[in-house]
Amino acid sequence: MEKFEVIIVGGGLSGLSAAWTLAKSGVEVVLLERGDYPGAKNVTGGRLYTRPILEYFPGLLEKAPLERPIVREGATLMAGERHITFHYGDLEYSRDPRPSFSILRSRFDRWFAEEAENAGAMILPKTRVDDVIREGGRIAGVVAGGDPLHADVVVACDGVLSLLSEKAGLRGPGGSRDHAVGIKEVISLPPEKIEDRFNLEKGAGAAHLFVGEATRGKFGGGFLYTNRESLSLGVVVGIRDLVEKEPALAAPDFLDDFKKRPEIAPLVRDGETVEYSAHVIPEGGHGGIGPLCGDGILVAGDAAGFALNLGLTVRGMEYAMASGVFAAKTILDARAAGNYSRERLSRYETLLKGSFVLQDFESFREAPRILENPRFFRHYPEWLGAMFHDLYDVPAGPKKRLFPTLRKHLSFPELLALLGDLKKARKL
């Protein structure tokens, strides 16, 4: 009978972080990954904020294959006929330690897996886990390729759908309200062109988010990140809105239409699409967090629902990495005590609560309900766009005075509704 101390299912950021941490501490750990290599199945938008996680990976991220440090933020309110864009630049973004980087997961995860292997973890790619082994009510291992593999403890790091948590009876299938789909193209472009088009110093990067027409008024947004030699361009659309709300547009068309928008087309001109991908994203926030452990099992990363959308920032990767580390620390404690019961493993939750992970989810508990507001995705871009239109407009004949023009747009009912939305947003 094959028996290991720890089995990790899934070689994404959470699984690799757990494997790396455990291997460094001399624990016998096996990671099973269904892809040809870790990263082969993984999609992200592309921005990793490193500050929250630096302390957990001493000496590691400095060597990582990161794409470009992000030195400028962009945000666009996209209306049908017009758009309003703002840029935010910060010299601090160019000083070490840089706060965030664009990344491509197939490269990053593959490199991370090598690091975990060098630390002593055993990584088995091309291996799909099909079930858990139960012994007397506890999870005692997994079944992969028909073979039972036993372990003291199993860590489910199998991503947003987490079929493993379902098999272990920890949760049921997710619903369309709590999930979005991200659809993405990687578009190859020479570095000099990227730097010229985005007004960047050599090697520096930009991040840009789009809201409104990018998703035809549905929940979600568009994103654009600069990589070393490519752009990551995509749209994220809430699955419920995608299938229930007008216009009934097929998912692939969102990205095609977005790409043709005048705000985007010149940026990707002459670029060659080299990959097309899609992936579900957890959007449930605090309410979307599932059970974190059971007897003999821990759940980390997207599998636990650790992704947080605050409109201006979209984060899942640091939570995946940190939760992987905390799962590993919990295992080290349980191992010392020789006790992998649910009760002992629930120290995982205590560690998460003491860290930025669950503290962020607690602080932004209301975020999904606030961001669900359909006015953000249609009304505000159109309304502000129309106001700026009139301010900039030079018509044939006399131009209206500015103040009455503003007053027309800032009508009483409009301001009242805005106040209502702001009141709700106070909880952010």
Partner 1 sequence: MSQDGTLKAKLGLDVFKPAREPHILIRPGMERDPRLKKAVLACPAGLYSEDGNGAVTLSIDGCLECGTCRIACGTEVLDWNYPEGGTGVQFRFG
Question: What is the contact surface with partner 1 in residues (CB under 8 A)?
Answer: 34-37, 39-44, 104-109, 125-128, 144-145, 160-161, 163, 173-176, 179, 181, 183, 185-186, 230, 239, 242-243, 248-253, 256, 273-280
Work out whether 174 is an interface residue with ligand FAD (CB under 6 A).
no
Would you give the distance in Å from CA 245 to the centre of its chain? 24
Burial 103-117 (b: 16+ CB within 10 A, else e): bbbbbbbbbbbebbb
Work out whether 305 is an interface residue with ligand FAD (CB under 6 A).
no
Burial 251-261 (b: 16+ CB within 10 A, else e): eeebbebbbeb
Work out whether 284 is an interface residue with ligand FAD (CB under 6 A).
no
Give the Å distances, CA to CA, from 43 to 116, 147, 241, 271, 317: 20, 29, 22, 20, 11
CB of 159 to ligand FAD, least distance (A): 3
Work out whether 157 is an interface residue with ligand FAD (CB under 6 A).
yes
Question: Hey, which residues does 48 pair with through a beta bridge?
Answer: 101
The 8-class DSSP code of residue 399 comes to P
The option from partner 1, ligand FAD, none interacting with 387 (CB < 5 to 8 A, set by class) reads: none
Angle at 183 between CA 182 and CA 184, to 5 degrees: 115
CB of 271 to ligand FAD, least distance (A): 18
CB of 218 to partner 1, least distance (A): 11
Residues 309-348 that bind ligand FAD (CB under 6 A): 314-318, 320
CA distance from start to end of the chain: 52
The option from ligand FAD, partner 1, none interacting with 250 (CB < 5 to 8 A, set by class) reads: partner 1
CB of 125 to partner 1, least distance (A): 7
Looking at the Cβ atoms of 17 and 42, the one nearer to partner 1 is 42
Q: Which helix (H) or strand (E) holds 138?
A: strand 138-144
Looking at the Cβ atoms of 79 and 317, the one nearer to ligand FAD is 317
Looking at the Cβ atoms of 145 and 420, the one nearer to partner 1 is 145
CB of 158 to partner 1, least distance (A): 9
**CA–CA separation, 66 and 70 (whole Å):** 11
